[in-house]
Structure 1
Amino acid sequence: MNYLLRVLVTAASFWVAVWLLPGMEVMTDSGAPDTGETVIALLIVSVIFGVVNSIVRPIVSLLSLPITCITLGLFTLIINAAMLALTVWLTSFLPMYVVIDSFFWTAILAALIISVVSTIMNWLVSSVTS
């Protein structure tokens, strides 16, 4: 149940990022998706994002620890954007995927939005379920 809530929170965070950023959108092989396809695509992307964050992110965070310390933790935002870019690349092989037009600023802003919205929603969900 806890995992399902995390997937839903991450999917909602992705939806907010797609809604706010003009350079990020959900696509299908047949073009622009309808509402049901968008929801399914966001759920799939959030599961893949969770897998990437649980497998790849710890390794990247450990290897980039010196530069993260030098930048006082700001490099973590670049790591988040890289994990988002890896997720976008991995989902590009699926029939439903997320597209980011220009990597650097759109990915940085999307990673920031996803992090903030996920944190707020996780806090709200944990306070309601407790």
Structure 2
Amino acid sequence: MRFIIRVVVNAFALWVVSLITVLQVDITPFAPGDTLQLVLTLLAVGAIFALVNTIIGTVVKIVAFPLYILTFGLIGFVINGFLLWLTAWITSGFGWGLTVGHFWWGVLAALVISVINGLFGFILRPQKKKRS
């Protein structure tokens, strides 16, 4: 259930980022024209981004742990941008999905996606019950 929520939130964040034209991030749907195709493409790209972030992102973050310490965590922005760029590369092989204009625009787009994921994570997290 948590993975499905994560995919939906990622899809929404990717849609918001694709609306910001300055970031040069675009979504190419499975088939042109239909809104359903765009939604399905966003969900597929969101699932791929969640898998890339979970599998490859964890390994990269463990290996780059000394860089996190040296840069006070700022390397995380570059790593998240790399993971978004990697997702764009994977989906572009299918002829649909995510395209990122330039790596540094991908870093900025990953920052926006992180903020949106953080807001939804705060809103959707389970509340602890108070003891009376």
Bucket of the pairwise TM-score, normalised by the shorter protein: 0.7 to 0.9
**Aligned positions of 1:75-94 closer than 5 A:** 75-94=75-94
Residue aligning to 1:25: 26
Query: Contact between 2:30 and 2:37, CA under 8 Å: does it hold in 1?
Result: no
Instruction: Give the letter aligned to residue 50 of structure 1.
Output: A
Instruction: Note the 1:1-130 alignment, pairs <5 A.
Output: 1-22=1-22, 23-28=24-29, 33-104=33-104, 106-126=105-125
- Asked if structure 2 preserves the Cα contact closer than 8 Å seen for 1:21 and 1:110, the reply is no
Q: What fraction of aligned residue pairs are identical, expressed as a percent?
A: 31
Structure 1 29/44 Cα, relative in aligned 2: closer, same or farther at 3 Å? closer
Take 1:108 and 1:33, find their aligned partners in 2: how far apart are those partners? 29
Matched residue SS, 1:107:
helix
Is the 1:57–1:83 contact (alpha carbons within 8 Å) kept by the matching residues of 2?
yes
State how far apart, in whole Å, the 2-side matches of 1:36 and 1:29 are.
Answer: 10
Are the equivalent residues in 1 in contact too, given 2:81–2:110 (CA < 8 A)? yes
Uncovered stretches (5+) of structure 1, i.e. residues with no partner: none
Runs of 4+ aligned structure 1 residues displaced above 3 Å come to none
Answer yes or no: is the 8 Å Cα contact 1:26–1:33 preserved in 2.
no
The 2-side partners of 1:102 and 1:56 are apart by 21
TM-score calculated relative to the size of structure 2: 0.86
Query: Unpaired segments of 5 or more residues in structure 2?
Result: none
The alignment of Structure 1 onto Structure 2 pairs a total of residues equal to: 127
Deviations 1:3-43 (A, max 9, x none): 2211111111111111124411111476x543221111110
2:73 alignment partner, SS class = coil
Q: SS of the residue aligned with 1:61?
A: helix
